[in-house]
A and B are shown apart, each in its own frame.
Chain A
């Protein structure tokens, strides 16, 4: 049985842990609101971009002159997986769930005899993937200095991807991120970005005049569309991370509270036990006289 002093120390340390997790939860809540606003603000651009590109892509898809970003390289031997995770931990299953999805995907591709290359964004994913898929990691983009994800960060990631694509280093690119559903639910998602996927039933937007030409515009727009997709993914990820951290820290705070209650009961009990023991000693001492 631990001594009274031990118990007291233990309670004090759990109390300070609870303070920290409580503070982290509140910080995450404030950051979450900002991240959600940013994701919200980026939506009109992304939606419009997707509309226009889908319309264009549907009308150009069949032709021989379609840009490579749309038509692909003609093979699907080499896959690039862009795995976006957080730079920090303490956010529940946030990082693990993305990594898990990416790992399943990678193993499936390897089993099919495809070559897999992995580009990691964010430190945590790299650390987790290094263990079993270390041989496939080709590049890493560090966002640890970035406080708020901007379009420029997405452009950096996208440019890296385009450089590799132009150099013929891969045929198909897929991005992995957590889609923000709510504070308690983030859905790990895989989206193929290169070659662009034209959704079923997208109609050729034939009524538009194009300046300069459909294909010139498409060639100009496709890289932007990919960048926008990556930007959206980064924003969703940022919001998800804060949401995941918030609920993880909420749990931690509650657990710490339970633990304090338990320890306090134990402390009071053993204090009472020792008082009783002393009383018995005094009384039996007095009776012996």
Chain B
């Protein structure tokens, strides 16, 4: 089908989702982007955010904390360090834990590292608020 693309979401420990999708919204490091069929081949890193998959039967949302996405005209593969379905308490609890950790690291870091970590913490806080 030309109006669908193959979508896979994998984390190091398991495959979280796989199927056909109309479009995938990806929280890229330089800003959100939406992959649709026949997208130019792209590789992008992720920032903490929400991944929205428009499948045949509706919309699925996943929270990702980082990783990267590989987009080709026929398929989109998201390799997330950690990913959770956005609905449910598990994601919120896990994110809170990660946020604490990142804030702790940001407190100890300095210079460019601190900026990066602060930004990650802000992104995470925004994601948690948005749930």
Binding site for B on A (CB under 8 A): 38, 41-42, 44-46, 48-49, 52, 56, 150-151, 154, 207-212, 216-217, 220-221, 224, 227-228, 231
Contacts and interface: CB of A to CB of B under 8 A. Distances in A.
Interface residues of B, number: 23
B118 interface: no
26 contacts: A38-B13, A41-B14, A41-B15, A45-B11, A45-B13, A48-B10, A48-B70, A52-B70, A151-B12, A151-B13, A151-B81, A207-B41, A209-B40, A209-B41, A209-B43, A210-B43, A210-B44, A211-B33, A211-B42, A211-B43, A212-B30, A212-B44, A217-B44, A217-B45, A220-B45, A228-B12
Contacts, number: 69
Contacts of B70: 48, 52, 208
Contacts of B10: 44-45, 48
Interface in B9-37: 10-15, 28-30, 33
Contacts of B40: 209
A208 B69 CA distance: 12
Interface string B95-107: 0000000000000
Contacts of A151: 11-13, 81
Contact of B44 (A154, A211, A227): A211
A224 B81 CA distance: 9
Contacts of B81: 151, 224
B14 A48 contact: no
A217 B43 contact: yes
B12 A211 contact: no
B81 to A, nearest CB: 7
Contacts of A216: 45
A150 B20 CA distance: 29
B42 A210 contact: yes
A231 B12 CA distance: 8
Nearest to A212: B30
Contacts of A38: 13
A73 to B, nearest CB: 21
B51 to A, nearest CB: 16
* B13, B41, B67, B70 — most chain A CB neighbours (10 Å): B13
The 9 closest A-B pairs by CB, nearest first: A211-B44, A41-B14, A151-B12, A209-B42, A45-B10, A208-B41, A44-B10, A45-B12, A208-B43
